[in-house]
A and B are shown apart, each in its own frame.
Chain A
Amino acid sequence: MPIVLRCHKGLGPTVTGTALVARDNFSARYDLDRKAGVFSRPTHALAGQSYAGQILVLDTAKGGVATAWMLRDMQTRGVVPLALVFNRVNPILAQGAAFGAVTMVDRFDGDVTDLIHTGDRLRIDPACGIVEILNRDP
C-alpha cells in the first residue's frame, strides 16, 4: 500500500514517475541549461544533474518571471521535468505550469523535501491534490 500525501489541488495531468529531490529552490532561467536539460547553476544542489522526465521535488521558486514562458517551450521540445512538486510555489511557477500543461502541486502537511526521497516512484493526481509514494509502505 503506498504512502499517500495530501496537498492543495494542483495543475496539469495525472502522471507517474521518479523523484529527484533537493532542499533548494528553482528558476528555469537562473538554474537550467535548457538545451542540455541539466541544472547548470554551479551553486544549485542538483548542479550537473539531468531534469528531463524527472519529478522535481524542491522547496520554492526563485525570482524571475521567465519560467512562465519557458516551461511551455521546454514541454514542446521534450526536455522538461515530468512534474514539479514544491513546498510552496510563487505565481510565476503556477502561471508557467498552467500555460505549459506541466503537472505541478504544492502546499503539503510537512516538508515535502523530507517526505519524498530521490528515486521514489510517485503518482501525482493534481485534480484531487494527492501524491502517492508507490515504492514505500506507510
Chain B
Amino acid sequence: MRLTDEEQAMRAGALGEPRRWAIEHQIAVGEFFDAADLVPVSQAHIMADTESLGETGVAFLENLAAMPEAERRVRVPTLTDPRGLDFQTYKRLGQTEAMAALEARAIAALKAFGVLMTDTCINYQTIMPPTSGEHLAMGDTGVVIYSNSVFGARSNFEGGPSALAAALTGRTPRYGYHLDECRRATRRFRLTTQPRELSEWGALGGIVGRASGSYWEVPLIAGIDEAPGSDALKHFGAAMASYGSTALFHMPGVTPEATEFAGAAAETVPIGRAELDAFVAAYGATGDRVDIVVFAAPHLSLVEMAAVAAALDGRRVHADTTVLVATSPEIKHAADRMGLTRRIEEAGAIVAAGICFYQSYAGELAEANGWKRLLTNSAKLVNIIGGYGYRPTLASLERCVDSAVAGRIV
C-alpha cells in the first residue's frame, strides 16, 4: 500500500501507540483486500457492545485509553452503536451487576478517546445524515447499507476494531465500496407487489439479501410504485444486510446511484406476494404463547415510537409477556418530552435507550427470564436471534401488540 509521510510516521510510532496499532491493523486489512492506499473519512461509528467485546475487548480498549491524551484522541467525529446495557432498565430486564460493571468500564474507555456516546444504529436518521460521495467508517451493517444506498455515501462494514482504527487515523483502507467498480449492480430483482408495512419491507430485504448471498453482490430492485419512507428503507436495508451481508443496493427512482451504477445483470428475479407471504410464514407460530415482544433492530424512529404508543393506548400487556421497545437516547428524550414513553410504559411495556436487544446479552436474558418465543416486526431480528436459543416470529407492529395483550400469537 502507498503510505503518505504522515501515515509512515504513524506506522513508526511517532504519533503514539494507539495510532501505530491503528494503522498497522488498517494496513493488514487493506493488503488483504488489495487496497492501493488509505482514504480520509469524515465520520467513524463504533460497534462496541460489551457482549461482543468480552473482557478481552474491554481490556484492549482500556489499555489504549490509558495512553497520553494527545495520542489517544480520535481525529474525526466518532459515534457509537447500541450498547450492551441501559443503566435505567437493566435490572428490570434481568441483566446482572457484572454486566453493568463491564459496561461502565467500556464506556469510560470510549469516552477517553473522545468518542461521542450516541449509542444508536439510526445515526443517519437522528445524528448526522451522510452526504453523497462522503467517505465514512461506519460500524453497523444497517448504517452502512443505508448510508451507501440511500445517501450515496461510501463505507465498508467496519467492525469495532477497524472503526476505532479509522477514528484514530482519520482514514480507512480504500477497497470495496469506496471504489466505483464495486458499486455496480450485479443482481436484478423486480417487484410484482408492494410491501404493505415495515415488517414486509424487512421481509423483502431478507428475500433480496438471501438471494444475493455475499458482501460483494449489489442488488438492484425495480418495480417500486412509490418512494418508500425512511423507516421502510431502514427495515429493508437492515434485513438485507443481515440475511445477505449486503452493503449496497440500488432502487431506480429512489436511490441516487441507480442509473450511474445500474450494471448489466442479465437475469431479473421477480418477487411477488407469494414470496413475501412465504418468507413471513416460515417464522409463523399462530396460537403459541409469546414470552417477549421486541420492537428494535434497528432502533425505532420517533414516528415508530408514536405508532407503538398509539397501538398500546388503553390496553394492558399480558402478565406472562414482556414488551421491550428500544430506541436511541436522542429519540428516548424526545419520546419522554412528548409523553410517548409514559403511554407505552403505562400499558406495561419497557422503553430502553441505547440498547438493541440482540446486542444486549440476549442469550443470558433468555435464561434469566425463561424467554423462548419471541415476536417482533423486525426481519433482521428474526434472522439473528435463533442462534441465541429463541424461536422467533415476524409480524406487523399491530399484530405484535395484539399478541402482547393476548399473551399468545394472534
Question: Which residues on B sit within 8 Å (CB–CB) of A114?
Answer: none
Contact A76 B56 (CB under 8 A): yes
**A40-82 interface mask toward B, CB cutoff 8 Å, 1 = contact, 0 = none?**
1111100000000000000011111111111011011100000
Taking the closest CB of chain B, its distance from the CB of A46, in whole angstroms, is 12
> Which of A14-22, A95-103, A116-124, A130-138 touches B?
A95-103
Given the interface pairs A69-B57, A73-B53, the reply to whether A91 lies near B386 with Cβ below 8 Å is no
CB distance from A32 to the nearest CB of B (A): 7
- Using a CB–CB distance below 8 Å, which chain B residues touch chain A? 25, 28-29, 31-33, 47-49, 51-57, 60, 81, 139-141, 156-162, 175-176, 209, 213-216, 241-246, 358-359, 363, 383-384, 386-389
Whether the Cβ atoms of B28 and A11 lie closer than 8 Å is yes
Assess whether B25 is in contact with A63, with CB atoms less than 8 Å apart.
Answer: no
Q: Give the docked Cα–Cα distance between A78 and B340 (Å).
A: 46
Q: Is the CB–CB distance between B242 and A60 below 8 Å?
A: no
What CA separation (Å) do A62 and B387 show in the bound complex?
A: 13
A66 to B162, CA, bound (A): 12
**Closest Cβ neighbor of B244 among chain A residues:** A63
Q: Is the CB–CB distance between A29 and B31 below 8 Å?
A: no
Give the chain A neighbours of B55 by CB distance below 8 A: 73, 76
What number of A-B contacts does a CB cutoff of 8 Å give?
138
Please classify the interface of chain B as helix (H, G, I), strand (E, B), loop, or mixed, using the class held by over half of its residues: helix
**Is there a chain B Cβ closer than 8 Å to A5's Cβ?**
no
Instruction: Say yes or no: A70-B47 contact (C-beta < 8 A), given A9-B32, A31-B387, A65-B139.
Output: no
- Smallest Cβ distance from B394 to chain A, in angstroms? 15
CA distance A67 to B28 in the complex (A): 17
- CB closest residue in chain B, given A126: B32
| A93 CA / B275 CA spacing, docked (Å) | 31
CB atoms of B159 and A68 under 8 A apart:
yes
Residue of B nearest to A62 (CB): B245
Measured in the bound complex, the distance between the Cα atoms of B54 and A72 in whole Å is: 9
In the bound complex, CA of A111 to CA of B387 (Å): 26
Cβ B161 vs Cβ A69 within 8 A: yes
Q: Lowest 10 A-B CB distances belong to which pairs?
A: A68-B159, A73-B54, A90-B215, A63-B242, A41-B387, A66-B52, A99-B161, A73-B56, A69-B52, A76-B56
In contact, A91 and B162 (Cβ under 8 angstroms): yes
Note all chain B residues with C-beta closer than 8 A to A60: 213-215, 245
Residues of chain B with a CB closer than 8 A to A96's CB: 159, 161
List 15 additional A-B contacts (Cβ < 8 Å) besides A69-B57, A90-B157: A11-B32, A30-B383, A33-B363, A44-B387, A63-B209, A63-B241, A63-B242, A66-B49, A66-B52, A68-B159, A69-B161, A76-B55, A91-B156, A91-B215, A99-B161
Contacts of B49 in A (CB 8 A): 66
Q: How far is the CB of B365 from chain A (nearest CB, A)?
A: 15
B159 touches A65 (CB 8 A): yes
By a CB distance below 8 angstroms, the chain B residues around A72 are: 56-57, 60, 161
Q: Is the CB of B389 within 8 A of A63?
A: no
Min C-beta distance of A3 to chain B, whole Å: 24
Contacts of B81 in A (CB 8 A): 65
B160 closest partner in A (C-beta): A69
B214 & A88 in contact (Cβ 8 Å cutoff): yes
Judge whether B389 and A69 touch: CB under 8 Å: no
Q: Within the assembled complex, what's the spacing in Å between the Cα atoms of A99 and B52? A: 13
